[in-house]
């Protein structure tokens, strides 16, 4: 089984580097990508599509909800996770239906790892056209 | 002088003619009649001034003639001619109206003339008298008429005056009844502060009588003071002649009242005192107080909401660095494990290294880094840092939960959770002055409540407890601490929170005012005096619960909140 490719999107570089370091121990399971904004994330997806997208909610310019909305449209098989420090009702409502999972900052490393492993499994099912049908299958 | 007419009635022609002749010669007009009937006829025809008649005549004798003539004209002078021997008749004739008599034959006619003159003169006088009498009578009548008219006028005037008076009295009574019917207490006070008049409302309110009340000093009967109080609006009015008003609380006047004094002048416009209007404003005060309390609660709620939004924003801000600090610590932990494995491998391998110099160098380098210590301490440092992050996370979480402008509806919650959250948030308030212990009922059913507001109640009491202890500790360089104990349990269908402190307690005299809004013993800036008032409003009005306290001055206080448990949970 090939490594799952995960894209983290956050406007705070320290968060990204922290995650990068924290998940170093899973470098065999995951191939990690990082983007500092929604636009960067979409560029990254265009070059090489990630299997899982983990995005912050509040970012300058395009926010997390908008980004995941676009990703759902363009790359329906990507598993979408909202990783936010602000679990208020508004963001929940705006992203319900777009997001597979919510994670709140600060997030315990064990929890994050297990969520990512489950997301990897989920992605396997979602991208398996024999289960999901052609309509929801992504491009390879 | 006008000529007088004399009627002679005489049946003897000789006497008649002689007499007639004589009288004519003396200037009289003479009418002659030979018997009584003719004489009567001439009398009626000509109205003579005097009648001279014989008594014995044919047809109608003299007596009858006199009688009839006198009957018709009582003023007419009648003189009787009479022969001797008829004196009885003469007397009778005089009785029935004759004026004089002459005896026949008349020896001297002058006597006749004299008698006639005298009679006429007398008749004239009588006539004058009569005219005068008539005049007088007319005059009297006229005067009487005038008097009567004046009298009637007076009577009319009196009648009018009576009506006027009745109207005035009626108006006065109406006015008094109106003033008495007014719900305000009204009294007139003179320049000496003496009560001059008062309406019934005032008399009734002061449970006195007019007799007792009038004349007493206003400040004495209304305020039991020997002199006017310093706020006395009447004194102000006496100084500047203007209307003044003041709001006072006076038990005798029925509590809160507004006193309005209006200048009172006499008919010449000279100030002689004031009219006091004392109005019961208890209802208004109550409404105002309620409005104040409501405003206060509203303000408080708005403040809470603003603080809540701010705190929620701050929580978000803290969460971001917490996240990467956590990630990095995690990474350091992983990395250290790898390094430890590596160093251990190197240490193992180094033992087999032949070359002493290399081996020594490696061993020295490991020694130099104090590897044994690092191996021991770095995992501690990392796990403690992780714990710190966890604590920051829980504090921020509690802060968010506590301050989140949350639901406005009641929901079933564990009271212990609200207490824990509040204790965490308020740690800074109590941790320097007290040790805090909690004691939670483990099989406690949930309570239906407004989470935010109940949290606020516990916070207010907790902060008060900390302040009470702080105050009791006073200047405290050795860092002594008091104790706060919070116990949550349920008794039957009642959930109970007891918050005890061993602070200074509540002085006996302040116990009744603890829950009053704006009541505070704290210095300016430390308390607004709303805390317990709001606590009571939340517990009693919004949760149908009770809030009480037990306090022993010098020993501490315990606040006890009791809330009804959910109905279905009580079975």
Per-residue H/E/C for B269-302: CCEEEEEEEEEECHHHHHHHHHHHHHHHHHHHHH
Contacts of B393 in chain A (CB under 8 A): 106
Percentage of chain B with pLDDT > 70? 94
Instruction: Give the E-state strand segments of chain A in sequence order.
Output: 4-9, 30-35, 52-55, 79-84, 101-104
Find, in chain A, the residue whose alpha carbon is nearest to that of B393: A106
Write phi, then psi, for B186 (nearest 5 degrees): -125, 135
Q: What's the average model confidence in pLDDT over B117-135?
A: 85
- ipTM for the complex shown: 0.71
Take residue B50 and report the two structure tokens written for it: 């005097």
B324 vs A14: CB contact, 8 Å cut-off?
A: yes
Contacts of A19 in chain B (CB under 8 A): 324, 327
Q: Are B159 and B152 contacting, i.e. CB atoms less than 8 angstroms apart?
A: no
Q: How far apart are CA B411 and CA B414, in angstroms?
A: 10
Find, in chain A, the residue whose alpha carbon is nearest to that of B317: A85
Beta strand pairing status for B411-413 and B78-83? unpaired
Q: Are B187 and B201 contacting, i.e. CB atoms less than 8 angstroms apart?
A: no
- pLDDT at A137 exceeding the cut of 80: no
Q: Which tens digit of pLDDT belongs to each residue from B434-464?
A: 999 999 988 888 888 888 888 888 988 998 8
Q: How far apart are CA B449 and CA B414, in angstroms?
A: 9
Q: What's the average model confidence in pLDDT over B13-35?
A: 89
Per-residue confidence band for B518, with pLDDT thresholds at 50, 70 and 90: low
- pLDDT at A103 exceeding the cut of 60: yes
Contacts of A89 in chain B (CB under 8 A): none
A106 vs B334: CB contact, 8 Å cut-off?
A: no
Q: How far apart are CA B8 and CA B31, in angstroms?
A: 6
Q: Are B437 and B487 contacting, i.e. CB atoms less than 8 angstroms apart?
A: no
B319 vs A106: CB contact, 8 Å cut-off?
A: yes
Q: Which tens digit of pLDDT belongs to each residue from B468-513?
A: 898 888 877 777 889 999 999 988 889 999 999 998 888 888 887 7
Q: Which tens digit of pLDDT belongs to each residue from B210-261?
A: 888 888 888 888 888 888 888 899 999 999 989 999 998 888 888 889 999 9
Q: What's the average model confidence in pLDDT over A45-70?
A: 90
- Give the pLDDT of residue B1: 52
Q: How far apart are CA B201 and CA A110, in angstroms?
A: 82
Per-residue confidence band for A86, with pLDDT thresholds at 50, 70 and 90: low
This prediction has a pTM of: 0.48
Burial (CB count <10 Å: 0-12, 13-18, 19+), residue B126: middle
- Give the pLDDT of residue B570: 41
Contacts of A109 in chain B (CB under 8 A): 326-327, 330
Residue ranges of the alpha helices (H) in B445-518?
451-473
B319 vs A108: CB contact, 8 Å cut-off?
A: no
- pLDDT at A140 exceeding the cut of 50: no
Within 10 angstroms of residue B192's Cβ, the number of other Cβ atoms is 11
Per-residue confidence band for A131, with pLDDT thresholds at 50, 70 and 90: low
Closest CA to B467 of B516, B520, B517, B413: B520
Within 10 angstroms of residue B283's Cβ, the number of other Cβ atoms is 9
Tell me the CA distances in angstroms from B349 to A25, B354, B364, B370, one per residue in order.
Answer: 25, 11, 15, 19
Contacts of A18 in chain B (CB under 8 A): 323-328, 331
Angle between helices B62-72 and B87-96 (to 10 degrees): 10
Q: How far apart are CA A119 and CA A122, in angstroms?
A: 5
- Give the pLDDT of residue A139: 41
- Give the pLDDT of residue B154: 92
Per-residue confidence band for B571, with pLDDT thresholds at 50, 70 and 90: very low
At the fourth CATH level, the homologous superfamily of domain A4-132 is Response regulator (3.40.50.2300)
Q: Which tens digit of pLDDT belongs to each residue from B149-175?
A: 999 999 999 999 999 999 999 999 998
Give the distance from CA B526 to its chain's centroid. Answer: 41
Q: Which residue has the tokens 């009937």?
A: B37
The contacts of residue B241 (CB under 8 Å, 6+ apart) are B263, B271
Helix (H) or strand (E) holding B357: helix B356-368
Q: Are B554 and B504 contacting, i.e. CB atoms less than 8 angstroms apart?
A: yes
Within 10 angstroms of residue B321's Cβ, the number of other Cβ atoms is 18
- pLDDT at B276 exceeding the cut of 70: yes
The contacts of residue B443 (CB under 8 Å, 6+ apart) are none
Q: How far apart are CA B549 and CA B563, in angstroms?
A: 15
- Give the pLDDT of residue A91: 65
Q: Which tens digit of pLDDT belongs to each residue from B351-388?
A: 888 888 888 888 888 888 889 899 999 999 999 898 88
Q: Are A57 and A9 contacting, i.e. CB atoms less than 8 angstroms apart?
A: no
Per-residue confidence band for A50, with pLDDT thresholds at 50, 70 and 90: very high
Q: What's the average model confidence in pLDDT over B19-39?
A: 89
Burial (CB count <10 Å: 0-12, 13-18, 19+), residue B541: exposed
Interface A-B: count of C-beta contacts within 8 A: 64
Look up residue B560 and give its DSSP letter. E
Q: How far apart are CA B315 and CA B310, in angstroms?
A: 8
Q: Which tens digit of pLDDT belongs to each residue from B44-96?
A: 988 898 998 888 887 788 888 888 888 888 888 888 887 766 778 888 888 88
Write phi, then psi, for A64 (nearest 5 degrees): -60, -40
- Give the pLDDT of residue B84: 65
Opening angle at CA B378, ends B376 and B384, nearest 5: 110
Report chain A residues touching chain B, CB-CB < 8 A: 12, 14-15, 17-19, 21-22, 24-25, 58, 85-86, 88, 104-109
Which of B323, B331, B332 minimises the CB distance to A105?
B323
Within 10 angstroms of residue B297's Cβ, the number of other Cβ atoms is 18
Burial (CB count <10 Å: 0-12, 13-18, 19+), residue A79: buried
Q: How far apart are CA B193 and CA B247, in angstroms?
A: 19
Closest CA to B460 of B497, B489, B432, B493: B497
More confident residue, B521 or A37: A37
Closest CA to B452 of B410, B491, B389: B410
Percentage of chain B with pLDDT > 90? 21
- Give the pLDDT of residue A135: 44
DSSP string covering B75-95: TS-EEEEEETT-HHHHHHHHH
Beta strand pairing status for B78-83 and B100-104? parallel
The contacts of residue B390 (CB under 8 Å, 6+ apart) are none
- pLDDT at B407 exceeding the cut of 70: no
Contacts of A85 in chain B (CB under 8 A): 315-317, 319-320, 323
Find, in chain B, the residue whose alpha carbon is nearest to that of A11: B320
Q: Are B252 and B222 contacting, i.e. CB atoms less than 8 angstroms apart?
A: yes
- Give the pLDDT of residue B568: 52
Per-residue confidence band for B2, with pLDDT thresholds at 50, 70 and 90: low
Opening angle at CA B161, ends B156 and B167, nearest 5: 130
Q: Which of the residue ranges B55-59, B335-339, B565-569 would you say has the lowest mean pLDDT?
A: B565-569
Cα end-to-end span (Å), chain B: 147
More confident residue, B447 or B571: B447
- pLDDT at A47 exceeding the cut of 80: yes
Q: How far apart are CA B192 and CA B243, in angstroms?
A: 17
- Give the pLDDT of residue B405: 55
Q: Which of the residue ranges A20-24, A128-132, B292-296, B388-392 would you say has the lowest mean pLDDT?
A: A128-132
Beta strand pairing status for B411-413 and B447-449? antiparallel
Per-residue confidence band for B569, with pLDDT thresholds at 50, 70 and 90: very low
Q: How far apart are CA B232 and CA B559, in angstroms?
A: 44
Per-residue confidence band for B538, with pLDDT thresholds at 50, 70 and 90: confident
């Amino acid at each position: 089984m090939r490594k799952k490719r995960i894209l983290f999107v956050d406007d705070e570089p320290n968060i990204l580097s922290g995650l990068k370091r924290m998940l170093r121990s899973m470098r065999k399971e995951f191939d990690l990508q990082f983007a500092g904004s929604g636009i960067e994330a979409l560029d990254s997806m265009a070059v090489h599509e990630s299997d899982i997208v983990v995005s912050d909610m509040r970012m300058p310019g395009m926010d997390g909800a908008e980004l995941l909305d676009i990703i759902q449209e363009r790359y329906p098989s990507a598993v979408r996770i909202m990783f936010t420090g602000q679990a208020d009702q508004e963001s929940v409502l705006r992203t319900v239906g777009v997001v597979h999972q919510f994670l709140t900052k600060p997030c315990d490393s064990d929890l994050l790892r297990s969520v990512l492993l489950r997301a990897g499994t989920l992605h396997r099912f979602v991208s398996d056209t024999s289960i999901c049908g052609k309509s929801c299958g992504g491009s390879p | 002088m006008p000529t007088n007419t004399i009627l002679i009635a005489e049946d003897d022609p000789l006497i008649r003619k002689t007499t007639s002749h004589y009288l004519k010669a003396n200037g009289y007009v003479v009418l002659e009649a030979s018997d009584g009937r003719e004489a009567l006829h001439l009398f009626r025809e000509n109205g003579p001034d005097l009648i001279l008649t014989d008594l014995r005549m044919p047809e109608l004798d003299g007596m009858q003639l006199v009688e009839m003539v006198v009957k018709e004209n009582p003023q007419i002078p009648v003189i009787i001619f009479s022969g001797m021997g008829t004196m009885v008749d003469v007397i009778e004739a005089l009785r029935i109206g004759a004026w004089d008599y002459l005896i026949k034959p008349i020896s001297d006619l002058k006597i006749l003339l004299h008698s006639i003159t005298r009679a006429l003169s007398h008749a004239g006088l009588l006539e004058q008298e009569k005219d005068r009498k008539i005049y007088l009578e007319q005059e009297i009548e006229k005067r009487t008429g005038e008097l009567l008219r004046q009298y009637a006028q007076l009577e009319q005037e009196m009648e009018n005056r009576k009506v006027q008076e009745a109207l005035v009295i009626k108006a006065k009574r109406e006015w008094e009844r109106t003033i008495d019917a007014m719900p305000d207490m009204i009294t007139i006070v003179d320049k000496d502060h003496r009560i001059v008049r008062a309406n019934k409302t005032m008399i009734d309110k002061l449970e006195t009588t007019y007799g007792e009340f009038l004349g007493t000093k206003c400040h004495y009967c209304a305020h039991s003071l020997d002199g006017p109080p310093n706020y006395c609006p009447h004194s102000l009015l006496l100084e500047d002649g203007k209307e003044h008003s003041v709001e006072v609380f006076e038990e005798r006047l029925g509590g809160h009242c507004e006193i309005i004094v209006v200048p009172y002048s006499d008919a010449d416009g000279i100030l002689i005192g004031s009219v006091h209007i004392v109005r019961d404003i208890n209802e208004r005060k109550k409404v105002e107080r309620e409005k104040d309390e409501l405003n206060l609660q509203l303000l408080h709620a708005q403040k809470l909401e603003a603080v809540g939004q701010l705190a929620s924003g701050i929580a978000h801000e803290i969460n971001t660095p917490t996240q990467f600090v956590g990630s990095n610590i995690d990474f350091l932990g992983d990395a250290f494990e790898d390094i430890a494995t590596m160093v251990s491998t190197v240490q193992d391998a180094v033992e087999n290294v032949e070359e002493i110099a290399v081996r020594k160098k490696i061993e020295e380098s490991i020694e130099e880094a104090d590897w044994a210590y690092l191996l021991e301490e770095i995992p501690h440092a990392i796990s403690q840092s992780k714990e710190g992050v966890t604590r920051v996370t829980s504090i921020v979480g509690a802060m968010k939960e506590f301050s989140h402008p949350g639901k406005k509806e009641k929901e079933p919650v564990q009271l212990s959770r609200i207490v824990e959250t509040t204790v965490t948030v308020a740690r800074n308030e109590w941790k320097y002055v007290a040790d805090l212990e909690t004691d939670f009922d483990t099989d406690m059913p949930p309570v239906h409540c407004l989470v935010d507001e109940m949290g606020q109640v516990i916070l207010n009491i907790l902060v008060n407890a900390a302040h009470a202890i702080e105050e009791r500790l006073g200047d405290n360089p050795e860092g002594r601490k008091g104790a706060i104990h919070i116990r949550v349990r349920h008794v039957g269908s009642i959930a109970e929170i007891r918050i005890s402190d061993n602070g200074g307690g509540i002085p006996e005299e302040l116990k009744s005012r603890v829950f009053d809004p704006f009541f505070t013993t704290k210095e300016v800036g430390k308390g607004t005096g709303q805390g317990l008032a709001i606590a009571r409003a939340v517990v009693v009005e919004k949760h149908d619960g009770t809030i009480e306290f037990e306090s022993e001055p010098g020993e501490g206080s315990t606040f006890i909140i009791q809330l009804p448990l959910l109905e279905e949970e009580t079975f």
